[in-house]
């Protein structure tokens, strides 16, 4: 018993929980590699939960014990700030997302373009839920800007988040989908399909924001992770995986 107590006193880290991150679904193909790099540098292990930004914000507001919130836009971190649950008065932009049109290689659309969205052959188009997912909001805004929303509204297959949107198209449950570039350049989707970058001026910029949470159990570690994601090294990796620098 004495040896056990001595071990616990000398090694409190053995009892420490991992750093917990609430991560937007578009980060699922991107973040694991960066977290491995971060852990190798710091010996801090991170557990990431991937959901739509709205779902994560609601979980945080309901008391979920996250340390850092990495959202796919700035609005949902601002909800958390307004609820008095963040350390800062404004979210920190850490990346900028890109919306693309993606289809499988065996789909009837071999050369994707805006004309694909106008084609009567397009029977189903997957998008993320605009109420929950910033990329879904961007998809709806893009379709409205291009004058295509009313034409396509009845053909939309709405997913909970952007990762599920990509799954819908990859599985054949939709012929094409408006998804994140992070998903489109992932190893699986790069092998299975092809994409077209939607006109950037057709939707508001997808600035992705982060906040360290006020009741975080590991505030310093959360700030270290955020600082790492803002580093030139991490920005380079994010860029390779579909996220531009925020500035």
In a domain, 246, yes or no: no
In the chain, which stretches have pLDDT less than 50?
A: 1-15
Q: Write out the two tokens for 207.
A: 């600035």
- DSSP-derived letter for residue 166 is H
Instruction: Compute the distance between CA of residue 148 and CA of residue 2 in angstroms, rounded to an integer.
Output: 72
Is the same domain home to 9 and 80?
Answer: yes
In a domain, 86, yes or no: yes
Q: What is residue 93's predicted lDDT score, i.e. its pLDDT?
A: 97
Is the same domain home to 169 and 221?
Answer: no
Is the same domain home to 107 and 169?
Answer: yes
Q: What is residue 179's predicted lDDT score, i.e. its pLDDT?
A: 98
Q: Of the candidates 133, 159, 126, 162, which has an alpha carbon nearest to the alpha carbon of residue 28?
A: 162
3-state helix, strand, coil in the chain (%, to 5): 45, 20, 35
Q: Residue 144 is part of which domain span?
A: 98-202
Unique residue bearing structure tokens 């379709």: 143
Torsion, Cα 203 79 51 159, to 10 degrees, reads -50
Torsion, Cα 162 160 94 179, to 10 degrees, reads 20
Is the same domain home to 114 and 32?
Answer: no
Q: Angle 75-82/53-61 helices, nearest 10 degrees?
A: 10
Is the same domain home to 13 and 82?
Answer: yes
Q: What is residue 15's predicted lDDT score, i.e. its pLDDT?
A: 39
In a domain, 231, yes or no: yes
Kind of pairing, strands 176-180 and 99-104? antiparallel
Is the same domain home to 107 and 144?
Answer: yes
Instruction: Compute the distance between CA of residue 165 and CA of residue 158 in angstroms, rounded to an integer.
Output: 7
Residue 102 burial (10 A CB sphere; 0-12, 13-18, 19+): buried
For residue 68, what is the domain's CATH number? 3.40.190.10
Is the same domain home to 194 and 102?
Answer: yes
Is the same domain home to 132 and 68?
Answer: no
Instruction: Compute the distance between CA of residue 85 and CA of residue 83 in angstroms, rounded to an integer.
Output: 6
211 phi and psi, to 5 degrees? -140, 140
Q: What is residue 12's predicted lDDT score, i.e. its pLDDT?
A: 41
């Amino acid at each position: 018993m004495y040896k056990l107590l001595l071990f616990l006193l000398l090694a409190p880290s053995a009892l420490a929980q991992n750093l917990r991150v609430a991560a937007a679904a578009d980060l699922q193909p991107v973040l694991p590699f960066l977290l491995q790099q971060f852990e190798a540098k710091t010996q801090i292990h991170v557990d990431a939960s991937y959901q739509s930004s709205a779902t994560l914000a609601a979980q945080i507001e309901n008391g979920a014990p996250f340390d850092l919130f990495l959202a796919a836009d700035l609005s949902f971190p601002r909800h958390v700030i307004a609820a008095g649950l963040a350390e800062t008065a404004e979210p920190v932009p850490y990346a900028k997302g890109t919306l693309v049109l993606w289809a499988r290689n065996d789909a009837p659309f071999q050369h994707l373009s805006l004309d694909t969205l106008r084609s009567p052959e397009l029977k189903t188009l997957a998008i993320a839920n605009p109420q929950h997912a910033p990329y879904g909001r961007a998809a709806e805004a893009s379709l409205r800007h291009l004058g295509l929303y009313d034409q396509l509204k009845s053909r939309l297959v709405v997913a909970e988040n952007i990762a599920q949107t990509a799954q819908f198209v990859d599985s054949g449950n939709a012929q094409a989908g408006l998804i994140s570039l992070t998903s489109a350049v992932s190893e699986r989707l790069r092998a299975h399909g092809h994409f077209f970058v939607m006109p950037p001026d057709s939707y508001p910029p997808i600035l992705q924001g982060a906040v360290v949470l006020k009741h975080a159990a590991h505030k310093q570690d959360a700030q270290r992770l955020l600082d790492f994601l803002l580093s030139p090294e991490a920005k380079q990796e994010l860029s390779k995986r579909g996220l531009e620098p925020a500035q």
